Amino acid sequence: MKKIAISVGDLNGIGIEIAIRSHTEITKFCEPIYCIDEEMLLQASKLLNLAISSEMILQNTHESFVIKPRVIDAKSGAYSFASFKKALQLVQEKKADAVCTLPIHKEAWSLAGIDYKGHTEYLREFTGEGAIMVLGCEDLYVALFTEHIALKDVAKKINVKNLVEFFTLLNEKMRRERIGVLGLNPHAGDNGVIGLEEVIIERAIDIVNSKIGKNVFHGVLVPDTAFTPNSLKHYNTIVAMYHDQGLAPLKALYFEESINISISRKIIRTSVDHGTAMDIAYKNARPSTKSYLNAVKAATKQINF
């Protein structure tokens, strides 16, 4: 079975409960390696009043702190970052085949002095190569051209070079027959009346399709109709120009089952597509494990789209 390094996320949130509750289930299809110190796992299990399996394989981060349920703080942020770094190290050293991450809290990372906005940004630096954030499920995947940047900065990122590089890597790893590409502006610019970014996007689509030798990328699609049932008959993979443009409709349609994937050439990383849910952490709310189970399964398949 594939060995999957599990980055435990923010221990003040729901991630560790999901991991403990799902352990028996995921051992049916992989060998999980939890990047957490035994002291921290025991502390969490006591707070949750959940038994932990004696067969859980742990990898120490050599750090510890006092878990404060539902609190956003620097120590929990630093620990979640250390867990992620350990997971990547295990894959780099060929002690694991892929990484699956439980949710972090971006404010906790910031409080800890961590400059990265999320997992994908750090993965890029760790591997020294590009990585694309893709979210969704078998029914619909959304690839984000830009991720955690201010909306006012999105248009500045749209140029032919960046788009061609993005489309090329996406096609290389996903191998879809048809991928829809959203415009940036309302009505996809209305032929330049509202904006000219769509002209740049169309040029990049033409260049990449020409390199591929067939029309894989289609667009520019009007953003407000791209997620309608009729449109989704033609595309189950869509490129969004910015974060909320793609993720708001995706999560309205497939919130519980969606996963988060960092597509890169060197390291496979999958993740749940939900946050730390601080409001229900350690309250015996039994959070859904569906996204986590889907993420681990995707990692074991080596992201075989």
Chain segment 21-47, per-residue pLDDT in tens: 999 999 999 999 999 999 999 999 999
> Is residue 186 within 8 Å of 194, Cβ to Cβ?
yes
- What pLDDT score does 192 carry? 84
CATH code for the structural domain at 1-131+264-305: 3.40.718.10
Q: Which element (helix H / strand E) includes 160?
A: helix 160-174
Rounded to the nearest 5 degrees, what angle is found at the Cα of 165, between the Cα atoms of 164 and 166? 90
Range 88-92 average pLDDT: 96
With vertex at residue 120, the alpha carbon angle to CA 71 and CA 240, rounded to the nearest 5 degrees, is: 105
Q: What is the mean pLDDT of the chain?
A: 94
CA 4 to chain centroid: 16
C-alpha distances (whole Å) from 19 to each of 43, 101, 219, 237, 244 are 14, 10, 40, 29, 28
Give residue 177's pLDDT: 92
Query: What is the per-residue pLDDT for 238?
Result: 97
User: Looking at this protein, which amino acid is placed at residue 201?
Assistant: I
Mean pLDDT, residues 237-249 taken together: 97
The CATH number of the domain covering residues in 132-262? 3.40.718.10
* Span 140-182, pLDDT tens digits: 999 999 998 999 999 999 999 999 999 999 998 888 999 999 9
The secondary structure of the chain in percent helix, strand, coil, rounded to multiples of 5, reads: 40, 15, 40
Nearest alpha carbon to residue 223 among 194, 259, 260: 194
Planar angle of CA 158, 162, 168, nearest 5 degrees: 130
What is the location of CATH 3.40.718.10 in the chain? 1-131+264-305, 132-262
Task: List Cα–Cα distances, 45 to 15, 16, 100, 288, 302, in angstroms.
Answer: 12, 9, 20, 18, 30
Q: What is the pLDDT of residue 305?
A: 47
> What is the per-residue pLDDT for 302?
60
What is the model's pLDDT at position 160?
A: 98
Q: Looking at residues 245-274, what average pLDDT do you find? A: 90
At 173 the pLDDT is 84
Q: What is the pLDDT of residue 304?
A: 47
Using 50, 70 and 90 to split pLDDT, how confident is the model at 113? very high
pTM of the model: 0.82
Find residue 140's DSSP bridge partners. Answer: 137
Backbone angles phi, psi at 193, to 5 degrees: -70, -40
- For the chain, the maximum distance between any two Cα atoms, rounded to a whole number of angstroms, is 64
On whether the CB atoms of residues 263 and 61 are closer than 8 A, the answer is no
Q: Is the peptide bond before 220 cis (omega within 30 degrees of 0)?
A: yes
Alpha-carbon gap, residue 280 to 284, rounded angstroms: 8
167-177 pLDDT, tens digit per residue, is 999 998 888 99
Q: Is 50 helix (H, G, I), strand (E, B) or coil?
A: coil
Q: Which tokens belong to 160? A: 């032919």
